[in-house]
Amino acid sequence: MDPYILKKDFPILDDKTLIYLDTAASSLKPKQVINKLEEYYEKYSTNVHRGVYNLSYVATEMYEQSRRKACEFINADFDEIVFTRGASSALNIVASSYGLNNLTSDDEIIVSELEHHSQVLPWQNVSNITKAKLVYVPLNKEGRITIENFKKVLNNKTKVVALNYVSNVMGYVTPIKEIIKLSHNVGAIVCVDAAQAAPHKKIDVKDIDCDFLAFSGHKMLGPTGIGVLFGKKELLKEMPPIEFGGDMNDNVNLYDATWKDSPYKFEAGTPPIAGAIGLGAAMDYINDIGIENIAIHEKKLKDYTVSKLLEIEDVVIYNKDAETGIISFNINSVHPHDAVTFFDGDNICMRAGHHCAQLIIKWLKVVATLRVSFYLYNTIEDCDRFIESVKNARDFFKSAGF
């Protein structure tokens, strides 16, 4: 893959001075996705599953075609893919529907300090309501979830394991397949937060054998407002809906009603139609390039940038051995928000803060970190300009007496 050619697909990057290093928050969108959204809004912007006329059939077919693309993308079956508003709402469905209805005070839920708030907070809520105990996997010295440490907290009381596949702060890949195997051995189900994995890594839900898996469209070239929840069909079948409204029901009586089968019972109301269709186009785009090629490219950029950052005095990197394209770091004595404002002056977009993952920031014993995250449209030149900006920021704040 050639990032210089790919860059041309991204209208925002027509501004040649712009360096975008914040894909972990949200990726840029290629014209292929933007055009698909335009096609929907201009040519068949009708509702799905309702209209008895051709345009609505077209919209329905495009919406369901995207579901089939999502199936192929992660090797799931059709009735195992629920379209949601994003990874957060997908994880909330699992916690509120499965968690609240299956856990009791005798049970334990395993999470980690590496989790995004979207994974840890829904399970905190389940724990508060059901009194199931929330148990944290101790992280190793590097801040990773290891099998050795996971085994220390797994036991016969564990009913749910809710962990990330790739950390949005540290970029570490969790050994999820082995964790799932161990969890199943004690009868626990595993809910995987794949928001940072799906855009960068081949996922095969049958191979890893996860019970639930969630990701967002907007981090993988797709539109905002669309996400995917994968759930094993036998689990989704038993789970009650948590939102009620149009299109999720079969028969409605005065005092009761029956629900459609999954996935529709979890898609109450008008679904994110344009979002789903746009996500289908994003998946096509990624498939055309090959997700493995994207991963190799990002890792190359990350290794190069880490090696250059290590040469800069006063730079502290928290995850230099991460397997993916995320770098979390700070410049000694410089508040990350000051640094990121300096980078913005060089037209470099990147993130500073706790990245919606306060637990790992507390674990690192810092107030916040700077975070760079790469994607297929980044180049070595982007890295060089960023490194230059880091050096200038360090010199600027040092000369200002920080």
Query: With CB under 6 A as the contact rule, which of the stretches 44-52, 151-159, 191-199, 380-388 interacts with ligand PLP?
Result: 191-199
23 binds ligand PLP (CB under 6 A): no
Q: Pick one of 23, 164, 174, 319: the residue that binds ligand PLP (CB under 6 A).
A: 164
Count residues near ligand PLP (CB under 6 A). Answer: 14
In total, the chain counts a number of residues equal to 402
Nearer to ligand PLP, 23 or 262 (CB): 23
Nearer to ligand PLP, 326 or 393 (CB): 326
CA 385 from centroid of its chain's CA atoms: 27
371 binds ligand PLP (CB under 6 A): no
Nearer to ligand PLP, 88 or 127 (CB): 88
Nearer to ligand PLP, 3 or 217 (CB): 217
Site for ligand PLP in 76-105 (CB under 6 A): 86-88
330 binds ligand PLP (CB under 6 A): no
Whole-angstrom Cα distance, residue 319 to residue 383?
Answer: 17
Write down the least CB distance from residue 216 to ligand PLP, Å. Answer: 3
Parallel, antiparallel, or unpaired for β 212-216 and 227-231? antiparallel
Q: What share of residues in the chain are helix, strand, coil (percent, to 5)?
A: 45, 15, 40
118 binds ligand PLP (CB under 6 A): yes
Q: Pick one of 34, 100, 147, 356: the residue that binds ligand PLP (CB under 6 A).
A: 356
Nearer to ligand PLP, 91 or 309 (CB): 91
Write down the least CB distance from residue 393 to ligand PLP, Å. Answer: 25
Nearest Cα neighbor of 137 from 120, 126, 124, 150 is: 150
196 binds ligand PLP (CB under 6 A): yes
Nearer to ligand PLP, 69 or 218 (CB): 218
Tell me the C-alpha to C-alpha distance, in Å, between residue 319 and each of 94, 140, 150, 323, 375: 30, 12, 20, 9, 18
113 binds ligand PLP (CB under 6 A): no
319 binds ligand PLP (CB under 6 A): no
107 binds ligand PLP (CB under 6 A): no
20: number of Cβ within 10 Å: 23
Query: With CB under 6 A as the contact rule, which of the stretches 5-13, 34-42, 71-79, 116-124 interacts with ligand PLP?
Result: 116-124
Q: Which one is catalytic: 71, 210, 356, 383? A: 356
Write down the least CB distance from residue 245 to ligand PLP, Å. Answer: 21
69 binds ligand PLP (CB under 6 A): no
191 is catalytic: no
Q: Pick one of 108, 113, 193, 211: the residue that binds ligand PLP (CB under 6 A).
A: 193
348 binds ligand PLP (CB under 6 A): no
Q: Pick one of 60, 96, 168, 328: the residue that binds ligand PLP (CB under 6 A).
A: 168
Site for ligand PLP in 206-265 (CB under 6 A): 216, 218
Nearer to ligand PLP, 226 or 390 (CB): 226
Active site residues: 356
Q: Which residues bind ligand PLP (CB under 6 A)?
A: 86-88, 116, 118-119, 164, 168, 193, 195-196, 216, 218, 356
